[in-house]
Amino acid sequence: MIQILFSSSLFASAVLLFVIQPMVAKMLLPVYGGTPAVWTVCMFFFQFLLLIAYGYAWVLSYFCGRYWRFVHTGLVIAAWFFLPLNFIPVHAADAPDLGILRDLTSQLGLPLLVVAASAPLLQFAYSQSLGKQAHDPYFLYAASNIGSLSALLCYPWFIERWIGLKQQFGVWNDLFAVYCLLLAVILCLPYRRLTWADRYQSASIPWQTKALWIGYSFIPCSLMLGVTFYISTDIASTPLFWVIPLALYLLSFVMTFAKKPLIAQDWLIRNSLFFIIFPVIGFIFGANLLSAWQLIAFHLACFMMFALLCHGELVRLRPPANRLTSFYFCLALGGVLAGLFNGLLAPRLFNGAYEYPITFALATLCIPFAVSKRFTWMPFILVFVLTANHFLSAYPWYAWVRTNRMVEIGVLVVIILTGKEKINLFASLAVLFLFLFSPWFKMLPALDLQRNFYGVKQVTFMSGVYALLSQNTVHGFQSPGGLSVSSGSMAYYAPVQPVLKALQEKQPALQTFLVGLGTGMLTCQFRASDSVDIIDIDAQVIDIARDTRFFTYLRDCPPHMSLSEGDGRQVLGQKQDRRADLVIIDAFSSDAIPTHLLTQEAFLLYQRKLREEGIILVNISNRHVRLLPVLNGIGRSLDLMVLHTVYPGDAKTGKFPSEWVLLTANEPLARSLMNREGWRFVTENESILWTDNYSNIVSLLKW
C-alpha cells in the first residue's frame, strides 16, 4: 500500500511538471511571438528549476525526518497562496528575456518547486519509511518517468485537442490539489527513527563517481536533443517528430530503473557495435542510398541503445538510499549541461547539425570496453587514408571510388573490427565524422551555410540555379543569368499572380505586408508604383536574401521595399491600421507550423491592417498537415469569403506544387478570381477554429 501511495504521488508530480511546459509556451507565443528568446528562456527556466528543486531536496536530506517534513510542509502551504494558477504573461518590450523569467518565477515558481522536488524527495522519504523496498527506493523513479511519458503522449493527442488553454490551467490546479492531498498523507506516515550514524554510515562519494553520474546523464540527454535536430534538419521535418526521441528517452529511464530491468546491460554492451554500424552508414550515404524512414529508424535505434546503456550504468553506480538526493542532483546537472550545449552553445558555435555526431562519438566512451595502455596508431592511419581519399577525388579515374564511398565504408569496417578498445573506438569515429561532416571535405560543399535558433540555412548550386534550402525545403532560387519576366511567379508563387493582377487592375499603387521573405522572389510580381513591407523573424534569411552573389531580387525587383526583422504578428501589430491592400502570410519554414499566426486573434490583427476591400493570402503548402479547415474556420468566424487553389506545379518553368488560401470581404474581386484558372470558393463543411486559447494539429495530420 505504501508503494502504491508513493508511486501515485510521483506519477502525479511528473504529470504536473511535464504538462505545464507546453501550456506556458503557448501562453507566451501571442505575447512575445516565436522568437528564440521565448524558447530559450522557457527551456532554461524549467531546467534550472529542476536543478534548484533537486538541490533543495539534497539540502533537506541532511535534516532529520521531523525537520525536513516541517520545512517541506511550510513550502507546500506557501505554494497554496499562488493558487489558482493561471499564467498571464505581461509583455516587457525593453528586456523580454527578463520579463519572461520574472513572470514565470513570480506566478509559477513555488508551486512548480514543490512539484519538481518530488522525484528525489519522495524517494528519500520512502527510504526512511516502513516500506518493504525502503533500502532501494530507486524503482520509484520509473513511476515518475511513466508520469512524464504519459503527459508527453496525452498532451498533443488528447489534452490540447479537447481542452482549451485556460481550462487546462483549471485542470492543472485540480490535479495539484490532489497531489497535495497525497503528499499530506505521505508526510503524516510513520517513519523509522534514524540516528546520525544510520543516515551517514556509508562512505563519502568520490568526485570521480559524481563526474560519471553527470556524464551518463549528459550523453543521452544531449543525444536526444541532437538526434531530434539532426533528423529534422537533414532527413525529414515532420510535425510532432520531437515527441518520439523524447518518449524513447523517458522510456529508457522506465526500463532501466524498474525493479527488474527489461533489457540486460550485458546484452547492450555485447551488441553496442552492431547498433553503431547503421547510423554511421546513414552518415556516409545519407538519402542517396537509404530511405528517410530507414535512416530515422537506424538513428533512433542507436540513440535508444545509448540511452539504455548510460541509464543502466547510472543504475549500476547508484549510491545507498541515504545518498540518493546527491545522485539526482548530479543527474539534473547533466541535463542542464546538455541543454546549455545543444540549446545555447551549438546554434552559436556551429553552422550545421554537428552537436549530434560530436555527442555520438563521446557516447562510445560510455561503453564499458577495456582501455589499452598501449599507444595506437589507428586514428592517425585513418587521417592519412581519408585525406588521400579527398585529394584523389580530383582525378577522373578515382570518381567511382569516391562516388560509392568505398573508402569510408572500408574505414567503418576497420573501426568496428578494432572497436573493442574504448579510446581507439572514440578517436577513430571522431576522425571519420570529421571528414564526413566538415564543409571542407564534402563532395558538394554549400556555397553558404548558416545556423541559428531557427535552423540551418544553406545556399547550393543545383540544376543550374542558386537555391536557398532549409530543412530539405527549397525557399527560393535564382539563375546566375539574372532576373526574367517570370521570376516572381516561379517556385511556390504561381497562384499569387492572378490575385495581384486583379488588384493591380484597380489600384495604381498597392500597399502590401509580406510575412516571410525567403529569397525575395515574390517581390518581382509587384510594380514600381507598389510598396511591399517585408517581415521576417530570421536575421540570417534576411542576410542571405541581400547577398547579391546569389540573389538579387531585393536589389533588382521593381517595387519600393522595406525590411523588418521580428515575429510577424508582433511587427504587424506596430504598423499603421487600414493601410494595406494585401497581407501575404508565407512564414512557414519547411513543415513547421507557427500556430500563433493562424489564430482568430491573428487574423483580426491582419484585418485591422487592411483597407475595407483588402485581401489576406496564406501559403498553406505542407506535406504533413491539412491547414484548409483552419482557414475555413477563420473565414466563417470573421464572415469572410474563403477561396482555395491547389497548383500542380510545372517543373519546366521552375514552378513548384503549392496550395494557397485567400480570405476577403471583397465579393466582386472574389468572383473575378473564381473565373480565373485554379481558384474556387470553399464549400467544405470541415472547419476548425484556432484561437490563442486553442490550437491542435493532431486532427489535421495527413496520415
Domain boundary among 176, 201, 226: 201
Beta bridge partners of 680: 644
Helices (H), 462-518: 496-506
Pair (391, 529) in one structural domain? no
Could you please report the per-residue DSSP string of 304-350? HHHHHHHHHHHHHT---GGGHHHHHHHHHHHHHHHHIIIIIIHHHH-
What confidence score (pLDDT) does residue 492 get?
86
Q: Tell me: pLDDT of 317 over 90.
A: yes
Q: Average pLDDT of 307-333?
A: 93
Range name among 289-293, 381-385, 576-580 with the lowest pLDDT average? 289-293
Q: What is the C-alpha to C-alpha distance for residues 633 and 646, in angstroms, rounded to an integer? A: 19
Residues 565 and 431 in one domain: no
**Does pLDDT of 115 surpass 80?**
yes
DSSP character at residue 469? E
Q: Lowest mean pLDDT: which of 34-38, 294-298, 579-583, 632-636?
A: 34-38
Neighbours of 356 (CB within 10 A): 28
All cell numbers assigned to 405: 564511398
> Which of the listed ranges 24-28, 34-38, 190-194, 218-222 does the model predict with the highest average pLDDT?
218-222
Mean per-residue pLDDT for 306-322?
93
* Of 204 and 334, the one with more pLDDT: 334
- 227 belongs to a structural domain: no
Range scoring the smallest mean pLDDT among 88-92, 171-175, 266-270, 541-545: 88-92
Return the C-alpha cell found at 141.
Answer: 523513479
Q: Which of 119, 107, 244 is nearest to 172 (CA)?
A: 107
Pairing of strands 455-462, 465-470: antiparallel
- The Cα 91–Cα 415 span in angstroms is 54
Cα 484 to its chain centre, rounded Å, is: 38
Instruction: Quote the pLDDT of residue 190.
Output: 77
Q: Which of 141, 155, 85 is nearest to 113 (CA)?
A: 85
Starting at the earlier edge strand, list the strands of the sheet with 448-452.
448-452, 455-462, 465-470, 473-478
Residue 29 located in a structural domain: yes
For residues 475 and 651, give the distance between their C-alpha atoms in angstroms, rounded to a whole number.
16
- 483, 605: one domain: yes
Q: Largest Cα–Cα distance of the chain, in whole Å?
A: 90
- Mean pLDDT over the full length of the chain: 87
Query: Nine-digit cell at 110?
Result: 513555488
The percent of residues above 90 in pLDDT, for the chain, comes to 47
Report the pLDDT value the prediction gives residue 50, as an integer from 0 to 100: 93
Note whether residue 364 is domain-resident.
no
**211 vs 128, which has greater pLDDT?**
211
pLDDT at site 590: 58
Q: Out of 7-11, 392-396, 555-559, pick the least confident.
A: 392-396
In this structure, the answer to whether residues 488 and 574 fall within a common structural domain is yes
Residue 181 half-sphere exposure toward CB, CA atoms < 13 A = 6
What's the pLDDT band for 307 if we cut at 50, 70, 90?
very high
Residue reference for cell 540549446: 343
Residue type, 572: L
What is the pLDDT, as a whole number, of residue 459?
93
Q: Residue 37 domain-assigned?
A: yes
522, 586 in Cβ contact below 8 A? yes
Q: Which three cell numbers stand for residue 529?
A: 508604383
Last residue of a domain, one of 441, 456, 482: 441
Least confident range from 356-370, 400-414, 433-447: namely 433-447
Residue of 599, 605, 566, 577 lying closest to 694 (CA atoms): 599
Q: What are the pLDDT digits (tens) for 584-610? A: 999 876 556 788 899 999 999 999 999
Determine the pLDDT at residue 42. 83
CA 38 to chain centre: 13
Q: Which of 169, 183, 135, 228 is nearest to 13 (CA)?
A: 183
Name the grid cell of 368. Answer: 564499458
For residue 477, the domain's CATH number is: 3.40.50.150
Q: How far apart are CA 459 and CA 450, in angstroms?
A: 9
The alpha carbons of the chain give a radius of gyration, in whole angstroms, of 28
Tell me, yes or no, whether 382 and 509 share the same domain: no
Q: Which residues have CB under 8 Å from 19's CB, separation 6+?
A: 151, 154, 155, 159, 168, 172
d(CA 74, CA 477): 62
Pairing relationship of beta strands 610-619 and 580-585 according to DSSP bridges: parallel
Name the residue with higher pLDDT: 702 or 309: 309
Find out whether 476 and 551 touch, Cβ atoms under 8 Å. Answer: yes
Running DSSP on this structure, what letter comes out for residue 595? G
Give the side-chain half-sphere CA count within 13 A for 630.
28
Residues 191 and 142 in one domain: yes
Q: Are 492 and 480 in contact (CB under 8 A)?
A: no
Domain end (from 420, 441, 462): 441
Average pLDDT value for residue range 545-561: 93
Do the beta carbons of residue 38 and residue 29 sit within 8 Å? yes
Residue 45 sits in a domain whose CATH number is 1.20.1250
The verdict on residue 686 lying in a domain is yes
Residue 234 banded pLDDT, cuts 50, 70, 90: confident
Do residues 430 and 526 share a domain? no
Q: Contact 646/659 with Cβ under 8 angstroms? A: yes
412 located within any domain: yes
Chain-centre distance of CA 74, in angstroms? 37
Q: What residues contact 509, with CB distance under 8 A and at least 6 apart? A: 529, 530, 531
Q: Are 524 and 426 in the same domain?
A: no
**One domain for residues 476 and 604:** yes
Cα distance between residue 504 and residue 487, in whole Å: 18
Cell numbers of 564, please? Answer: 523588418
Whether residue 306 lies inside any domain: the answer is: no
Task: Tell which wins on pLDDT, 206 or 633.
Answer: 633
pLDDT at 589: 60
Is residue 527 domain-shared with residue 645, that is, in the same domain? yes
- pTM score, whole prediction: 0.90
Question: Are residues 553 and 670 located together in one domain of the fold?
Answer: yes
Least confident range from 163-172, 200-209, 253-262, 390-399: namely 200-209
What pLDDT is attached to residue 512? 96
SS (H, E, C) 615-642: EEEEECCCCCECCHHHHHHHHHHCCCEE
Residue 249 pLDDT level (bands cut at 50, 70, 90): very high
Residues 6+ apart with CB under 8 A from 139: 133, 257, 258, 259
Please tell me whether residues 433 and 478 are part of one structural domain: no
* Paired strand residues for 370: 421
- The DSSP secondary structure of 414-448, one letter per residue, reads HHHHTTTBHHHHHHHHHHHHHHHH-GGG-SS--SE
Who wins on pLDDT, 262 or 633? 633
Angle formed at CA 245 by CA 240 and CA 251, multiple of 5 degrees: 120
> For residue 266, is it within any domain?
no
Tens of pLDDT, residue by residue over 611-639, are 988 999 999 998 888 999 999 999 999 99
- If one counts the domains in the chain, the total is 3
Domain ranges, residue 499: 472-700
Backbone dihedral region for residue 503 (phi beyond 0: left; psi -120 to 50: alpha; all else: beta): alpha
